[in-house]
Amino acid sequence: MKMGRLVNPIMAVVKGGAILGVCAIGATTFVPDSLLTPGERTAALASLAAGPRPFTGLYLGISQDGAAWLVRLDSSPQLALLYDPLESIALCEVKVDSSDHIWFRSAETDGSTIRFAGLLSRDGFTGMVSRLSVRTGAATDSFPLAFHKVRARFLAGMPDPISGVYVNLRGTPSGDIYGRKLVLIDAVDGLVALDIVYEGTPGVPRAALKAERAGHMVNFLWSVDTTQVIEHPASDTAIIRGKTLEFRSGQMLVRGETRSFHSYKMVKKLTLQEAFRRTRRADCP
């Protein structure tokens, strides 16, 4: 079983609906029976007869290869999605039944659809993510993934001036983009940060090992991918100044060499609500 990424963007799943980018939408019944045993299939079909359950929220899953999947689920079909650095992916079918089974299917992306089948847990849901070819219907990738709820302040109607998408990017005449994008989520129980490195195109979103705020200071701890051309310190410190994150200069050890990093700024370009709205709903059949 291959444990690689399914798409470059980060993906998120939320109860009630789904988008490939980071939101989930309410949908019609979808049962990926190819992922269930005969006994599980019978129980699932019986529980579906009881009708759908409301399921909402923002959820984050980290795959074994370190990719971050951010999903938003909502009772409104217009809010379910999977987060993507370029444009979130709509979740066209999301279903939660009376036996705590959950399923969702994304809109088509790169000739495939992303499907999830699993069970609700205490603070999220756990199951299998599969990528299926639209042309053949065959699974090209499959792996287990556990999603945990992110209790975002903005979803609770609380003041939230920090959360958003921060960027430090530059383009080239050929259309390539280089730099860094940071998705920052201010949750009730702490900060969640996703880092996307652009090396011509966006890389896989990766979650910070730790993100802590003290006043106007934010400290990050990252798992550094030394295969990337663009690197950043394993430990970052930023100062919040309005809609700007000002990162301090620093040093880190890379392949036995000490490298210096200059200070730089990242500007908030989108709120999370704006980022989640960048989803093509027309892609859902």
128/115 Cα distance (integer angstroms):
8
- The pLDDT, as a whole number, for residue 231 is 62
- The pLDDT, as a whole number, for residue 78 is 72
Comparing CA positions, the residue from 228, 232, 215 lying closest to residue 266 is: 232
Q: Quick check: 82 and 74 in contact, CB under 8 A?
A: no
Q: Where are the domains of the chain?
A: 12-152, 155-273
230-267: burial string, b at 16+ Cβ within 10 Å, e else: ebbbeebebebeeeebebeebebeeeeeeeeeeeeebe
Residues of the chain with pLDDT under 50: 1-33, 35, 44-51
- The pLDDT, as a whole number, for residue 225 is 65
pLDDT per residue over 64-95, tens digit each? 988 999 999 876 767 789 999 888 899 988 88
pTM: 0.77
> Any idea which architecture 155-273 has in CATH?
Beta Barrel (2.40)
- The pLDDT, as a whole number, for residue 42 is 55
98/93 Cα distance (integer angstroms):
17
- The pLDDT, as a whole number, for residue 161 is 92
CATH number of 12-152: 2.40.128
Kindly state the helix (H) or strand (E) to which residue 44 belongs, with its residue range: helix 38-48
Q: Say whether 155-273 and 12-152 share the same fold.
A: yes
